[in-house]
Structure 1
């Protein structure tokens, strides 16, 4: 990724800013998804998949930066400590560069079509998230599918297409479920973060929308807490966890997470024996 920045970004200061942003990445999950799908479907051109994987990671990084700037999250990230106008321009440069790199890998029109389809889906899902559009749990799950599921489908589908030139609907289907499962897990963990923007911004998350059904007094009390407080203090955390349990939020989020995983496994089983690919994905799911 650093080499690609040096090749394509001639402006020295912007180049250095982007190197700093790339250096902050501490995982390369999407890169690995592209690689394992490419290998599993018979790809052999190492240079091609490395270029695709690097382009995808740059794209995901640009989305992460946009997301943090829009939500005012991850305040310790280098782009949040940079002048926001500069960070926004840098993210736009990253996005544009990533599209250029990814689209250069294949001349197949459908390859570029799927790339743009997934990125636009994610942007539309992000818009609904930012504007608090979901009013039901089903609408929230659809938003998660578009916002996060599409970005998970992107490396899986493009890695497969680069390997054999074919669009695989089964890969797309299970990748969406993989993205949904990961996002539900992340959203649950976010309930316990020291600085929770979902609570402070009164976001209609899956947990919040579940609480609005007011199944019991605990859910009513917790809903009031979400609507009147900006965050959960460290002193309240044990009581808060008990409230989530009593309200059924903990159990509900676990069930929704497991449902997505089961749908993922059902779809992936259609591919037959692809042990290395399955082991990699399942190990990441179980490690969450």
Structure 2
């Protein structure tokens, strides 16, 4: 990935800034999704797959940076320690570079169309998240599907298209479910992050919207706690976890996560691939996510 930065970004300071952003990236889950699908569907051009994977990781990194700047999260990351205008411009350069790299592997109009479709869908989902628009659990799941599901579908669909030359709607469908499952798990974990607490920001997450249905006294107690940041700080973690279970939040988030995973597995099972290949695809993907 540094190779593409060096080739396309001649500004020395911006080059070094982007390299520092890249150095902070500690996983390559999305490029792996592209590789798994490319090779599962018969792809043989290793160089093309590597270019696609590199471009996708640059894209995901740019989205991660945008997300942190917008949410004021991950304060230890290099882009959060510099002038925000400089960081925003660098992230925009990274995004633009990623589109150029990804689009270089295919001349098919539909390939570029799907790339831009997924990025735009994710941006729309992010807008609704930042605007705190979801008013129901259904609306929240739709927002998650557009924000996270689209970005997860992107490497899966493009990897498949690079191998076959065709768009596979079944891949798009189950990949979106994988993105939903991953986001639900992340949102549950975020309930325990002081620095990234959606609770403190009073965001309408799936957990929060579930609580607003006030199924029991524990739900009401948690809502009262969430309305007061001092109470959030005072509550002990063990008591907090027990309250979440008593209110049904823990069980609800687990069930919603598992439902999405089962839809993902069902979608893979319906692919026109050998049984061994389908089992390998599921195992590899779930190991990453």
Q: Same fold (TM over 0.5)?
A: yes
Determine the C-alpha separation between the residues in 1 that align with 2:84 and 2:282. 40
Q: TM-score, normalised by structure 2?
A: 0.96
Unaligned runs of 5+ in 1: none
Q: In 2 relative to 1, CA 120–82 (structure 1 residues): closer, same or farther, beyond 3 Å? A: same
The alpha-carbon distance between structure 1 residues 207 and 235, as it changes in their structure 2 partners (threshold 3 A), is closer
Match of 2:67 in 1: 67
Q: CA deviation at 1:228?
A: 1.9
Equivalent residues of 1:194, 1:231 under 8 A apart:
no
SS of corresponding position for 2:37: helix
User: 2:258 is matched with which residue?
Assistant: 258
- TM superposition shift of 1:248: 0.5
**What number of residue pairs does the alignment pair up?**
285
Matched, 1:283 2:255: no
Alpha carbons of structure 1 residues 253 and 230: separation in structure 2 relative to 1, 3 Å: farther
Question: Contact 2:58 / 2:95 at 8 angstroms: preserved in 1?
Answer: yes
TM-score normalised by length of structure 1? 0.96
Look up the SS of the partner of 1:199 in the other structure. coil
Contact 2:190/2:196 (8 A) holds in 1: yes
Match of 1:31 in 2: 31
Greater shift, 119-128 or 77-86, is seen at 77-86
Superposed counterparts of 1:1-288, under 5 Å = 1-229=1-229, 232-233=232-233, 236-271=236-271, 272=273, 273=275, 274=277, 275-285=279-289
Gaps of 5+ in 2: none
Contact 1:194–1:232 (CA<8 Å) still a contact in 2?
no
SS in 2 for 1:105: coil
| Deviation of the 1:227 alpha carbon | 2.0
Contact 2:211 2:247 in 1 (8 A): yes
* Cα pair 1:199 1:231 within 8 Å, conserved: no
Cα offset, 1:278, TM superposition: 1.8
Could you tell me how far 1:234 is from its partner in structure 2? 7.9
**Change in CA separation of 1:230 and 1:189 when aligned onto 2, cut-off 3 Å:** farther
Runs ≥4 residues deviating over 6 A: none
Offset at residue 201 of structure 1 (A): 1.4
CA distance in 2, matches of 1:283, 1:102: 25
Tell me, in whole angstroms, the C-alpha distance in 2 between the residues paired with 1:229 and 1:21. 32
Deviations 1:97-126 (A, max 9, x none): 001111111010000000000000000000
Cα offset, 1:199, TM superposition: 1.4
C-alpha distance in structure 2 between counterparts of 1:109 and 1:230, whole Å: 54
After superposition, the Cα gap between the structure-2 partners of 1:249 and 1:145, relative to the gap in structure 1 and judged at 3 Å, is same
Distance, in Å, in 1 between the alignment partners of 2:99 and 2:158 is: 13
